[in-house]
Amino acid sequence: MLPVYVPILILAVFAVGFAAFTIVVSHLLGRPRPTEAKAAVYECGMPAIGTARERFPIKFYLVCMIFILLDVDAAFLYPWALIYPQLGWFGFVEMLVFMTLLGGGFTYAWKVGALDW
Amino acid sequence: MSPLIQELIEKALVVGIVTHGLLIVFSFCTLIERRVLAFMQFRLGPNRTGPQGILQPFADGIKLFFKEEFIPAGANKPLFILAPAVAVATAFMSTAIVTYGGALTVPAFGFLPEWLQGRVIELQIADLEVGILYLFALSSLGVYGIVMAGWASNNKYALIGGLRSSAQMFSYELALGLSWVPVILVTSSFRLPEIVAGQAGWFWNWNCFVVFPAFLVYLVAGTAEANRTPFDLPEAETELVAGFHTEYSSMKFALLQMAEYVNMITISALGVNMFLGGWNTGLPFLPPTAAYGLVGFFTFAAKVAGFLFFFFWLRGTLPRFRYDQLMHFGWKVLVPVAAVFILVTAGVLAALA
């Protein structure tokens, strides 16, 4: 019996090999001939002002933080859902308590405006 | 030949067929999408390369291979080259647990080696115990390719496109993950073959009818996760030129496009497996795996084609969301709806038990 992860390894080798092959071949066939105008940043025909290594809105960071918090909790729901038939009403009440706590945090984030764009 | 080597060859064959099949489906998706959109807008679309434009994807591919590839002067070169590779590799990796039909019996053709004749092959790369969790992990990794592409370009449009994309994919991934939980509750399994087997019988046993709200959440979140219209904010042409792939050219651009389409195909195939009955025809008087199991495969393929057509149809019909509306909808509508529906499903199941 083949270990179940071996096919995934084969797939990984294929996926990485395919990406590397395509990039190398197109590099060899494409023959880059850069000029100053070509190498410039695309800015709709205007000279670009500054670089893109600048500050950006903190909202993106906030969304990512909330995502990480809630995503871990979502991952916690999976094993619970898997054995739910054995848990019955006990599992339901436990999950209700968990979701209420989670919902409290979510409501807090909502009310302080972390979800407003 | 030892059984282990036989099994290894069988799995390598399945991987080869699935990946090449995906590449073919991807290339024809680009053609069919352009033609469908064209017909919706009373145009003809590309119809000059071969009959009905059938050779257009190959022409595009060859053209892209020979296009000059350049890297902007201010770009972060290693990340710029790595980004499309990461995007396409994670897209291909996430197809590993999708089932493409029931068990297939290899016909006893004379040219095949003896051990392969009559062998029963599962049309799935890996039947993992953790099934859906694997996909949950990999769909998060897919964001890296896009963010790296956006940041490494050193272009303001690309940077904003990449950041928007990451925030959007994070927001909708949560709803996507939550929409799978009712399905797991109903079938008590992470493995896709078991989830499909749980939907056998008449078509009203399909999960899209059993847990209808979860299916709706999946449709919306899946569309957003694949960055398709009306959620194609990362590359909103009218505001961001082309978003995260503004500076990409040649085959690296094609790899980013390929990642997007492969993700779309995975989301369609997964939706079919989890909600639309997979390879079940939904009509129990038809044998689901007749004729070497090909009936199951074609049923599955037809459903996926329908799902993909739905995506093209959306693109031809709907205007794009505004970014603040998108975030509002994701966080303040989809996530609460999905969470409440999990509790409703659990309550109903406990009451029925």
CATH number at residue A88: 1.20.58.1610
Q: Looking at chain B, which residue has its C-alpha nearest residue A97? A: B343
**Cβ–Cβ below 8 Å for B177 and A75:** yes
Torsion over CA: B179, B182, B186, B188 (sign): positive
Q: Looking at chain A, which residue has its C-alpha nearest residue B256? A: A19
pLDDT tier, B288 (very low <50, low <70, confident <90, very high otherwise): low
Give the minimum alpha-carbon distance from A104 to chain B in angstroms, rounded to a whole number.
Answer: 12
pLDDT over 80 (residue B4): yes
pLDDT over 80 (residue B112): no
Q: What is the mean pLDDT of chain B?
A: 84
What percentage of chain A reaches a pLDDT higher than 90?
A: 1
Torsion over CA: A5, A8, A12, A14 (sign): positive
CB B92 within 8 A of CB B262: yes
pLDDT over 80 (residue A117): no
pLDDT tier, B291 (very low <50, low <70, confident <90, very high otherwise): low
Give the minimum alpha-carbon distance from B80 to chain A in angstroms, rounded to a whole number.
Answer: 11
Does this model's pTM top 0.95? no
Interface check for B140 against chain A (CB to CB < 8 A): the answer is yes
Interface check for B6 against chain A (CB to CB < 8 A): the answer is no
Q: Looking at chain A, which residue has its C-alpha nearest residue B182? A: A81
pLDDT of residue B292: 65
Q: Which amino acid is at A80?
A: W
Which residue among A11, A16, A117 sits closest to B327, beta carbon to beta carbon? A117
Q: Is A14 helix (H, G, I), strand (E, B) or coil?
A: helix
pLDDT of residue B309: 92
- For the residues A68-77, what does the mean pLDDT come to? 83
d(CA A82, CA B23): 34
- For the residues B87-110, what does the mean pLDDT come to? 83
Give the minimum alpha-carbon distance from B44 to chain A in angstroms, rounded to a whole number.
Answer: 30
pLDDT over 80 (residue B135): yes
- For the residues A35-40, what does the mean pLDDT come to? 74
**Cβ–Cβ below 8 Å for B7 and A2:** yes
Which residue among B4, B125, B327 sits closest to A7, beta carbon to beta carbon? B125
Give the minimum alpha-carbon distance from A98 to chain B in angstroms, rounded to a whole number.
Answer: 11
CB B321 within 8 A of CB B230: yes
pLDDT of residue B289: 59
- For the residues B346-353, what does the mean pLDDT come to? 85
pLDDT over 70 (residue B290): no
pLDDT over 70 (residue B236): no
Residue A117 lies in a domain: no
Q: Looking at chain A, which residue has its C-alpha nearest residue B90? A: A15
- For the residues B306-326, what does the mean pLDDT come to? 87
Interface check for B79 against chain A (CB to CB < 8 A): the answer is no
Q: Looking at chain B, which residue has its C-alpha nearest residue A30? A: B68
Residue A91 lies in a domain: yes
Residue A60 lies in a domain: yes
**Residue numbers in B near A21 (CB within 8 A):** none
Which residue among A56, A88, A103 sits closest to B353, beta carbon to beta carbon? A88
Which residue among B81, B133, B346 sits closest to A95, beta carbon to beta carbon? B346
Give the minimum alpha-carbon distance from B183 to chain A in angstroms, rounded to a whole number.
Answer: 9
Could you report the predicted ipTM of this complex, rounded to two decimals? 0.85
pLDDT over 80 (residue B74): no
Interface check for B167 against chain A (CB to CB < 8 A): the answer is yes
DSSP H/E element including B177: helix B156-187
Q: Looking at chain B, which residue has its C-alpha nearest residue A38? A: B72
Residue A35 lies in a domain: yes
Q: Looking at the 3D structure of chain A, how many domains does it have?
A: 1
Q: For B14-18, B42-46, B288-292, B320-324, which range has the lowest pLDDT when averaged over its residues?
A: B288-292
What percentage of chain B reaches a pLDDT higher than 90?
A: 6
Q: Looking at chain A, which residue has its C-alpha nearest residue B23? A: A18
d(CA A101, CA A39): 53
pLDDT over 80 (residue A38): no
Give the minimum alpha-carbon distance from A27 to chain B in angstroms, rounded to a whole number.
Answer: 7
**Residue numbers in B near A84 (CB within 8 A):** 185, 188, 346, 349
- For the residues B5-14, what does the mean pLDDT come to? 84
**Residue numbers in A near B233 (CB within 8 A):** none
Range of the domain at A19: 2-111
Q: Of B102, B132, B137, give the one whose Cα is nearest residue B120.
A: B102
DSSP code for A69: H
pLDDT of residue B278: 80
**Cβ–Cβ below 8 Å for B188 and A74:** no
Q: Is B249 helix (H, G, I), strand (E, B) or coil?
A: coil
For the stretch B193-225, pLDDT in tens is 888 888 887 888 888 888 889 999 999 998 988
pLDDT of residue B305: 92
Residue A116 lies in a domain: no
CA angle B231, B233, B238 (to 5 degrees): 125
**Residue numbers in B near A90 (CB within 8 A):** none
For the stretch A19-30, pLDDT in tens is 898 888 888 887
For the stretch A78-109, pLDDT in tens is 888 888 888 888 888 988 998 898 888 889 98
**Cβ–Cβ below 8 Å for B133 and A15:** no
More confident residue, B251 or B110: B251
pLDDT over 70 (residue B287): no
For B235, phi and psi rounded to 5 degrees?
A: -125, 30
d(CA B100, CA B95): 10
pLDDT over 80 (residue B353): no
Q: For B114-128, B261-275, B280-294, B327-341, which range has the lowest pLDDT when averaged over its residues?
A: B280-294
**Residue numbers in B near A103 (CB within 8 A):** 339
Q: Respond yes or no on whether the N-terminal peptide bond of residue B230 is cis (omega within 30° of 0).
A: yes
- For the residues A52-68, what does the mean pLDDT come to? 82
More confident residue, A2 or B100: B100
Residue A89 lies in a domain: yes
pLDDT over 80 (residue B282): no
pLDDT of residue B325: 85
